[in-house]
Amino acid sequence: MSLPAQTPLYVRLPPEQASRLDRAADALGAAKKDLVAALIAEHVDPDSSAGLERLRGLGGRDPIGRTLATGHHAFRPREAPEVLTVAQAAALLQVGEDAVLALADAGRLPGRRIGEQWRFGRAALVAWLAGGG
């Protein structure tokens, strides 16, 4: 006997609603997923105007009447460093670190040795790559 297809659903509920769902499942001896599925089948009808209107009636409110908070996200990428390590220079040039070291040691790649380590200016590498450096 095969089970019907199921799709995982992960939600965060306010503690009171989660407790109510737990208590209902315990009292009925039912799985929470079966209760949620039955509630959706009974109360969520996205295929009819009336069903959508009932859902719109929640209008930015949760089922117990509080106004829902609306989040906002803005993404600002981190600024690229002006001074690069060998690994960062290799990533910028899309080559291996050995190639960067070989070019730098041969004096063909603009950079400075500081102690035992190489450092490269981002602008100098871009200019070099474009053939102007």
Structure token digits, residue 2 = 């095969």
Distance CA 22, CA 132 (A): 69
For residue 125, count CB atoms less than 10 angstroms from its CB and return exposed for 0-12, middle for 13-18, buried for 19 or more: buried
Counting every residue, how long is the chain?
133
Distance CA 104, CA 107 (A): 5
Per-residue pLDDT of the chain (133 residues; tens, 9 = 90+): 666 788 887 888 888 888 988 898 888 898 888 888 888 888 788 888 887 777 777 655 555 555 555 667 777 888 889 999 999 999 999 999 999 999 999 999 999 999 999 999 999 999 999 986 5
Per-residue pLDDT at 34: 86
Cβ-Cβ contacts under 8 Å for 30 (sequence gap 6 or more): 24
